[in-house]
Amino acid sequence: MLQKIVETADYIKGKVAKIPSYAIILGTGLGELANSITDKKEVPYNEIPNFPVSTVEGHSGKLIFGKLGGIDVIAMQGRFHYYEGYNMKEVTFPVRVFQALGIKYLFVSNAAGGMNSSFDVGDIMLIEDHINMFPEHPLHGKNYKELGTRFPDMSNAYDKELRLLAMQVAKENDIKLQHGVYVGTQGPTFETPAEYNYFRIIGGDAVGMSTVPEVIVANHAKMNVLAFSIITDLGVIGKIVEVTHEEVQEAAKIAQPKMAYIIQEVIKRLNK
Ligand code: HPA
């Protein structure tokens, strides 16, 4: 595993002049942030050694190097989902490569169903914490000391300082920001009403099929994480309607410029 990570990181180092400190994972329907990146260089996943290839509709699958608000970033357009059949080491492999590249900050986005009754479709939720409901853990198995400690702390998985910065940016720009706990599930089914209710009862505000594995590995790697859910449908009793992947993508599209702006501003302030 270590050798593969180094091999892939070396390949990427050979592709770009400067390795950024910031990486961004773009979720379902949230690829448009990539349009704000200038001086772009794109590398399709299928050209990157050891990278899995993304298959799901709406995930185009490439690494994008360039400048966001004038600052060097790497963005992943398309991520690897557990439900596609990848194991957790594959799902989180790009985060390991980011670690090997020396990335210090990871920004993550996703589309999610909202269980909090004060949420609306199109809201942006700042993720404060998560509940891991995946059946496989990304750190299961041998621990490589070079990558991180055996028993990583998760008390600040979504970095408090980054969250405060994001809240500041949202407030200054009149962007409505919800807050809450993200429940990560394997999918690919959306939840039954009873499951949404259960996730609400155990402390969840939104539920989705990603993010938790990458955030766990990023924390193992001692990166600072900031993550957002775009609420694309509601799992609130009385408001549950049929959900389709297309509707999720559509709802995500509408909210994404605001989320992109917050991420860009946070990076600018960190870089001062
Ligand atoms: N459940 C799980 N994943 C999702 C949802 C949902 O309601 N909406 C978008 N991704």
pLDDT tens column, 21-68:
999 999 876 777 888 899 999 999 989 999 987 565 544 589 999 999
* Contact status, residue 66 vs residue 41, Cβ threshold 8 Å: yes
pLDDT at 242: 79
pLDDT at 60: 55
The domain locations on the chain are 2-270
pLDDT at 58: 47
Among 124, 191, 200, name the best residue to mutate to test ligand 1's pocket (greatest count of ligand atoms within 8 A of Cβ).
191
* Contact status, residue 93 vs residue 80, Cβ threshold 8 Å: yes
Tell me how far the alpha carbon of residue 113 lies from the centroid of ligand 1, in angstroms. Answer: 4
**Ligand 1, atom 6, residue with closest C-alpha:** 113
User: φ and ψ at 144, to 5 degrees?
Assistant: -95, 115
Tell me how far the alpha carbon of residue 18 lies from the centroid of ligand 1, in angstroms. Answer: 36
DSSP 182-225: EEE---SSPPPHHHHHHHHHTT-SEEESSSHHHHHHHHHTT-EE
Q: Which atom of ligand 1 is nearest to the CA of 185?
A: 2
Architecture in CATH of 2-270: 3-Layer(aba) Sandwich (3.40)
Residues of the chain short of pLDDT 70, as ranges, are 29, 54-60
pLDDT at 119: 96
Q: What pTM, to 2 d.p., does this model score?
A: 0.95
Tell me how far the alpha carbon of residue 207 lies from the centroid of ligand 1, in angstroms. Answer: 6
Contacts of residue 15, Cβ cutoff 8 Å, sequence gap at least 6: 41, 43, 65
Q: Which atom of ligand 1 is nearest to the CA of 209?
A: 3
pLDDT at 17: 85
pLDDT at 29: 67
